[in-house]
Amino acid sequence: MSPRRRRGTILLVLIAVACVGVAIDQGAKALALARLTPGQPIPLVSDIFQLQLLRNSGAAFSAGSGMTMVFSILALVVLLAVIVAVVPRVRSMFWAIVVGLGLAGVAGNFIDRLVRSPGPFQGHVIDFLALKHFAVFNVADVFLTTAAVLIVLDAVFFKIDFNGDRSDSSDNGQATD
């Protein structure tokens, strides 16, 4: 496959992962809003894992509830920075998937902040997946966490750069930074 065609395929995968991820997240949130009632959790695995509808004006673990506008602007800045500075550098399937998942996560929660009540840039994120003694979160959060875990695993074990090369390649005995 030619480098240009391979690059196109990788970009297509990144965009597809991000778009499908956003669609899954927003679809799951729409279902949660239609089927769940705040304060009435539905046990899935005993009381360990439940469906529990919450509207979160803050960040993870509801931190910074009064800073919704700040989180909205920060999410927009992150989205734009990744699209402008990271996406053009991605040339490996691994990073296409990781960046796509990260974009899906940030975009999914950003969409909530744009379109949900009480209004644009102040909307509350819809959370509905609850783990006992942990947090209530959503599908976008799962995508963000998965991307973060893959980044850590890459840093510790694989060391794949955006081009798909291993920085500690044992093929030729030379490190590529």
How far apart are the C-alpha atoms of 163 and 120, rounded to whole Å? 38
Task: Say whether 25 is catalytic.
Answer: no
List CB contacts of 92: < 8 A, sequence separation 6 or more.
10, 160, 161, 162, 163, 164, 165
Q: Which of 25, 47, 127, 177 is catalytic?
A: 127
List CB contacts of 144: < 8 A, sequence separation 6 or more.
101, 102, 105, 106
Q: Which of 47, 141, 168, 171 is catalytic?
A: 141
DSSP annotation of 85 reads: I
Cα-atom radius of gyration of the chain, to the nearest Å? 18
Write out the catalytic residue numbers: 127, 141
